[in-house]
Structure 1
Amino acid sequence: MRRGQNLRHEVIVGVERRRFWPDEMKLSILREVGMGGATVTDVARRHDLTRQHIYQWRRQMKDKGLWPEPEGMTFLALDAPDLPLTSKPEPAYGAPAEIGFANGRILRCPPGMAEADILRLIRLVETA
């Protein structure tokens, strides 16, 4: 070392941002999406992650065979009492209504369907 030479050192103190996440922890976090209406953004914020982490982990877990592939459309058998429709169907106009549920199910209703009938179907799908 030369005389009069100043050496400068930097010490970085703080939280290490690169964390290790075991597969079990990743799967646990992935399962939180959709529970109680939680979105990918909600779950990412809760765990101090980015949304991209969630999507990347989902892809990694699928590649390892630890996360199920989406199965497409599934039909459910519902036990509903044989009740008459509450109203006459109105002439069809507009687009069909599509209602998504937190559990991933989707209810599609034709245009002009009575509100009471839609509400009855919603209750059936939510309890199935």
Structure 2
Amino acid sequence: MEILGRERRRRWADAEKLEILAAVGLNGETLARVARRYDVSRSQIYNWRRQFKKRGLLPTPVGPTFLPFDIGAPMLNAAPALEERMVSPAMVELCLTQGRRLRFDSGIEGATLTRLIRSVEAA
């Protein structure tokens, strides 16, 4: 890190930015705690993440991606389920935001399911 001029503006090297980005989520670290530890704003970390993602330099997570869900949450604006429709025991139905639903075989690969969920959520 380099401090320049009277305003003491910091210049971060790409390696330092990537180190800070990698610290988020590591061992349960939140973005706010990482921002405080490195004395940067949360918005700055979001900006760096967006910039690295746009340049294709943000490393993709190696392990599975877990998405939050609530089993007992009421579905707002969702069509009622058809009681008479038979669903195979190997089929899984995932309710996403805005009432969207995905039905897929329980044997689907994790990477394929992650790409599918991201595509549907981005649409």
TM-score, normalised to structure 2, is 0.45
Which has the larger strand fraction?
A: 2
Query: Structure 1-normalised TM-score?
Result: 0.43
Q: Which has the higher contact order (CA 8 A, sep 6+)?
A: 1
